[in-house]
């Protein structure tokens, strides 16, 4: 736009552009100061004394990379004597949930990990907790939902109304399984059911092995139902009831730290921040607002259905 054209913008539009620019500059400046101070504080924490590391696993589990990296860094950090994995998640993709579970299990072999369940730690969120030394939940925490789900949209009728028709050329009869332009065939449904049964059996086996429960007992609980924290304790799915503070104190004890007042020294992962991007747009990992609105989880899911 030329300088002359810019000056002749509608006054209201021009004013909105100016206000938007000022808002972004102010937010960016404040965020930069806060993030700089935050990073400084974290460096000081890492350099001062031994403590309990805290890793947040929040929202729908899609991309596990950040959590895996945090676990690796804490394993390598001699100042971190134990870890609290704070979970607030309805679950997510099967592969991602299994990756986090395996990394928690690996980490727990070198230093104790305590899983602390917040409001929801169901399905894949519960799976991730299985690798920890101990699992704590609040009495009203929603957990369990030991099961697998896969969903396909059938838009055949809608496509017919708008005149849309899909032409498919494929190498095999099952290559376009799950196409939204037609219903599933019986053969496709049977194939998917076998796949789900296999992945479900993996979940049951992991629960049985890591909670030291008979597989038949777990199978009876693994029909997708959810439990309160209190019910989960009675069923042997968690170790005890307690909040985040209880989990941090337990982790400190397991890590051989001397108890301090009411809370052990907490160490948080150092994060790379983008100060000029507002928080509500950036979000946190897989729980980013825009990502959650526009992104559907592909494939099989360990996810509590009501969370979708």
- Residue 10 binned pLDDT confidence (cut-offs 50, 70, 90): low
Q: What is the pLDDT of residues 135-176, one digit of tens each?
A: 999 999 999 999 998 888 888 888 889 998 888 888 998 888
Q: What is the pLDDT of residues 41-77, one digit of tens each?
A: 444 444 468 999 999 999 999 999 999 999 999 999 9
* 175 noted as active-site residue: yes
* 173 noted as active-site residue: no
3-state secondary structure the chain: CCHHHHHCCCHHHHHHHHHHHHHHHHHHHHHHHHHHHHHHHHHHHHHHCCEEEEEEEECCECCCHHHHHHHHHHHHCCCEEEEEEEEEECEEEHHHHHHHHHHHHHHHHHCCEEEEEEEEEECHHHHHHCCCCEEEECCCCEEECCCCECCCCCCHHHHHHHCCCCCCCCCCCCCCCCCCCCCCCHHHHHHHHHHHHHHHHHHHHHHHHHHCCCHHHHHHHCCCCEEEHHHHHHHCCCCEECCHHHHHHHHHHHCCCCCCCCCCCEECCCCCCCCCCCHHHHCCHHHCHHHHHHCCCCCCEEECHHHC
- Report pLDDT for 74: 97
For the chain, give every domain's residue range: 18-147+225-307
Q: Which of 49, 151, 175, 271 is catalytic?
A: 175
Q: Which of 97, 116, 123, 145 is catalytic?
A: 123
CATH of domain 18-147+225-307: 3.90.226.10
């Amino acid at each position: 736009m030329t300088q002359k054209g810019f000056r002749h913008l509608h006054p209201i539009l021009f004013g909105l552009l100016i206000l938007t620019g000022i808002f972004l500059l102010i937010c960016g400046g404040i965020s930069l100061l806060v993030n700089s101070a935050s990073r400084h504080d974290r460096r000081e924490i890492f350099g001062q004394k031994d403590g309990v590391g805290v890793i947040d696993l929040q929202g729908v589990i899609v991309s596990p990379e950040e959590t895996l990296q945090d676990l690796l860094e804490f394993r390598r950090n001699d100042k971190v004597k134990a870890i609290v994995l704070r979970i607030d998640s309805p679950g997510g993709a099967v592969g991602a949930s299994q990756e986090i579970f395996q990394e928690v299990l690996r980490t727990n072999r070198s230093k104790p990990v305590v899983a602390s369940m917040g409001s929801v730690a169901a399905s894949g969120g519960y799976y991730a907790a299985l690798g920890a030394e101990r699992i704590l939940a609040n009495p009203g925490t929603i957990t369990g939902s030991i099961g697998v789900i896969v969903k396909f949209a059938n838009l055949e009728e809608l496509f017919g109304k708008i005149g849309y028709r899909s032409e498919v050329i494929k190498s095999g009869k099952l290559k376009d399984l799950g196409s939204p332009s037609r219903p599933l065939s019986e053969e496709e449904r049977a194939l998917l059911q076998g796949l789900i049964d296999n992945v479900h059996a993996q979940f049951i086996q992991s629960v049985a092995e890591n909670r030291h429960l008979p597989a038949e007992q777990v199978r009876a609980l693994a029909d997708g139902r959810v439990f309160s924290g209190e019910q989960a304790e009675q069923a042997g799915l968690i170790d005890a009831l307690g909040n985040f503070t209880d989990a941090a104190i337990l982790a400190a004890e397991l890590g051989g730290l001397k108890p301090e007042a009411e809370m052990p020294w907490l160490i948080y992962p150092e994060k790379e921040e983008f100060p000029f991007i507002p928080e509500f747009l950036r979000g946190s990992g897989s729980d980013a607002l825009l990502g959650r609105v526009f992104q559907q989880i592909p494939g099989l899911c360990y996810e509590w259905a009501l969370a979708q």
